[in-house]
Amino acid sequence: MLKIAVYGKGGIGKSTTVANIAVVLAQRGLKVLQIGCDPKADSTSLLHDNQKLTTILDLVRSKKNFTLEEMICTGYADVICAEAGGPAPGVGCAGRGIITALENLEKKGIYEIYQPDVVLYDVLGDVVCGGFSMPMRDGYADKVFIITSGENMAIYAAANIAMAVQHFQDRNYAQLGGIILNKRNVKHELEKVQELCSDLGTSLIGTLSRSETVQASEELHQTVMQAFPESDMAEEYRILADQILKACEEKSSC
């Protein structure tokens, strides 16, 4: 089982990227579980036509007992979808909510019952304290990939996430698998991200173009892989999926 966490600053295109990668892997015959670890609970929305998915925290708050089947849904290409959700605005801790969600999934036996080949944790990366660092910890992700653009705030967030990963590596937790550039077409973008990779001692494993195809697919509430499977952008996601798998295999710990 490959266990992969994808982090990135809010709005960087992380959830869109993860959902498209999930479809690529599923179409190649792998059983994929995508877990959204963002209070907005929109990580998997493109996989089930933007329909409202009951979050795990919704269930924790509203029901004393609930089943594993109530915590998940099956989306496009048979990707298994789960959303951690978050607290009511102004009440509670979103990071603690991620811990509660992952613990409940584990307690209900999702990994044993569904036996996914690939688990993708889609994690908000503006902060990496408390529960937001949970997917980096022992027993969850083996590799962390960070999505960034060349924008200064995105690079700043990526550097902070990488430092958190490096801190946990001392405890034999998740390893940094590499950086993914999601282009915003800012000045010297590639050079800035390559410099970040050099500073972090990691690799730029993939690049995604800024594309109107992505926006068009989101307006249809679908992934690019579903809406425009023959597009250049779909091919970029296929290449990126291959690079992610290669990065896992090279370090032999995924």
Structure tokens at 242: 């291959």
Neighbours of 46 (CB within 10 A): 27
Residue 52 CB-density burial (10 A; 0-12 exposed, 13-18 middle, 19+ buried): exposed
The residues that bridge with 175 in the sheet, in sequence order, are: 143
Q: Catalytic residue, from 31, 40, 183, 251: name it.
A: 40
Residue 206 dihedral angles phi and psi, to the nearest 5°: -170, 155
Q: Catalytic residue, from 9, 108, 143, 192: name it.
A: 9
Side chain identity at 157, as an amino acid letter?
A
Annotated active-site residue 143? The verdict is: no
Separation of alpha carbons 80 and 177, rounded Å: 23
Annotated active-site residue 142? The verdict is: no
Annotated active-site residue 52? The verdict is: no
Annotated active-site residue 187? The verdict is: no
Could you write out the DSSP letters of every residue in 95-130?
HHHHHHHHHHHHHTTHHHHH--SEEEEEEE-S--SG
Q: Catalytic residue, from 42, 117, 126, 242: name it.
A: 126
The residues carrying an active-site annotation are 9, 14, 40, 126
